[in-house]
A = this chain, B = another copy of it.
Amino acid sequence: GEIFDKEMYQDNSTAGVVTGLAWTSVGGEILFVETSLSKGKGKLTLSGQLGEVMKESAMTALSYLKSKADKLGIDDRLFDYYDLHIHVPAGAVPKDGPSAGITMLTAMASIFTQRKVKSKVAMTGEITLRGKVMPVGGIKEKILAAKRAGIKEIILCKNNKRDIDEIDKEYIKGVDFHFVDKVEEVLEIALMKSKVDDPMIFSFPKESENSRQIA
């Protein structure tokens, strides 16, 4: 009855990979949002049989990061001179809904900054364009799947606290919860200060330096 191939939490040595939580007709599962950057022209590619709502979440997450690039320490030339690909395995399983919003946003923030993702963290929550985190469904099933997979910390919307409170305590022993309102809190918790080992070195066309000036 499993839909995603039974995944365990994996190591956090790669930038741009973040663990999310999915809720399918057969229960909860963890999933991975994977991102990659390559030299290009700012194109966004989405794969993994993502539905329309999930694609819009990715676009919203990217717009948020673009509009807050300075505050988040992202070189905004990346948006012009690199292409971003977001993939969610398993490639043949259709996926949809807004609940991967914060996972996709965190994965993008990691690949753009090359900062490490905290170990054994998973998350689920919708984002809005101004950076609010909104509650999502299927919390109980998702939490149980996360625990099975070895996750130690879970990030959720504050409005999902009531769903956690209804779960029998012994099922969630050893898992810490972070209840958040805003995307900034998610990034603070999930992204480490240090860069990954062997981070990507970005390069840009010469003429792209200082090509804009304040009006």
Contacts and interface: CB of A to CB of B under 8 A. Distances in A.
Given A85-B63, A89-B132, A39 B79 contact: yes
Chain A interface extent, by class:
35 or more
Contacts of A47: 56, 59-60, 129
A213 interface: yes
A197 interface: no
Copies of the protein in its oligomer: 6
Interface string A76-100: 1101110101110111100001100
A45 interface: yes
Given A60-B85, A77-B215, A89-B128, 16 more contacts: A14-B130, A32-B128, A34-B130, A38-B67, A39-B79, A40-B66, A40-B79, A49-B52, A60-B91, A89-B126, A90-B126, A203-B212, A203-B213, A204-B215, A205-B211, A206-B211
Interface of A: 5, 14, 16-17, 32, 34-40, 45, 47-49, 52-53, 56-57, 59-60, 63-64, 66-67, 69, 75-77, 79-81, 83, 85-87, 89-92, 97-98, 101, 126, 128-130, 132, 134-135, 159, 200-206, 211-215
